[in-house]
């Protein structure tokens, strides 16, 4: 395991930057957003493509339990996914 205390933040930064690069390269016209409530519920990355919203939660450790906020998915009728080290390739390579 890594001795770094910022590995989760680095992981999120890597995933978002790679996804944005792929969207630009493939001309998907996706809009990138972040979401947080005043109660500190958050979505790490939100993508708006046409009339579809997709919510993504990023976890460095695949064993850590992660959930997409029901508040978000219910309010915006969005689908959600958890991205971790086991499945990140399908997220960064569109």
Q: Give the CATH number for residue 67.
A: 3.40.1350
Residue 14 lies in a domain: yes
Residue 1 lies in a domain: no
Q: State the total domains in the chain.
A: 1
Residue 40 lies in a domain: yes
CA angle 63–69–74, rounded 5-degree value = 140
- 43-55 mean pLDDT: 95
Measured distance CA(94)–CA(89) in Å, rounded: 9
What is the reported pTM?
Answer: 0.90
Q: Which alpha helices (H) appear in the chain, and where do they start and end?
A: 7-25, 70-76, 89-92
- 2-14 mean pLDDT: 91
Percentage above 90 pLDDT, the chain: 83
- 30: helix, strand or coil: coil
pLDDT tens digits for range 21-47: 999 999 999 999 999 999 999 999 999
Q: Please, is 53 exposed, middle or buried when counting C-beta atoms within 10 Å of its C-beta (0-12, 13-18, 19+)?
A: buried
Q: What is the DSSP letter of 65?
A: -
In this predicted structure, the answer to whether residue 63 has a pLDDT above a threshold of 80 is: yes
The predicted structure's pLDDT at residue 94: 80
Residue 32 lies in a domain: yes
User: Which residues are within 8 A (CB) of 34 and not within 5 positions of it... i.e. 6 or more apart?
Assistant: 42, 43, 44, 45, 46
Owning domain of residue 83: 7-92
More confident residue, 67 or 33: 33
């Amino acid at each position: 395991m890594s001795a770094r205390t910022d590995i989760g933040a680095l992981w999120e930064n890597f995933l978002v930057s790679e996804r944005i690069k792929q969207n630009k390269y493939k001309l998907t016209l996706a809009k990138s957003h972040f979401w947080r409530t005043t109660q500190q519920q958050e979505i790490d990355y939100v993508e708006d493509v046409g009339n579809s919203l997709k919510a993504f939660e990023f976890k460095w450790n695949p064993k850590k339990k992660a959930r997409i906020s029901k508040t978000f998915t219910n309010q915006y009728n969005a689908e959600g996914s958890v991205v971790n080290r086991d499945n990140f390739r399908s997220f960064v390579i569109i």
